Structure 1
Amino acid sequence: MTVVRLPLILLLTGLLGLVGCTAYQPVPLYQLDGGNAELPDEKGGVAVLLGPVSIADYLQREALLQRQPDGSLTATSEGRWAGSLAADIDRQLLRQLAARLNSQRLAMAPATPGFTPQVQVLLSISRLDSGPQLPAVLEAHWRLLNPDGKLLDGRLVRLEEAHQGTIADQVRAQSLVMRQLVEQVALAVQEYGNLPPVVAEEPRKKTPVAPAAKPARPKAPVVEPIRIEGEVFRF
Structure 2
Amino acid sequence: MDKTLEQQLLCLAHYVRDPAGCAPPPGMEARRLAIYRRLFYGNIEAMLASGFPVLSASLGSADWHRLVQDFYAHYRCQTPLFTELASEFVLYLEQGAGDGLKLPQWLSELAHYERVESVLLLSNAQPAAVQPMTATLDTVLALSDLAWPLAYQWPVCDIGPGHLPKHPLPEPTLLLAQRKADHKVHFSRLAPLVYTLLVSVQHQQWTGRQHLAALADSMGVTLDAVLPQGQALLEQLVVQGVISG
TM-score by length of 1: 0.23
Q: Larger Rg: 1 or 2?
A: 1
Higher helix share: 2
Higher strand share: 1
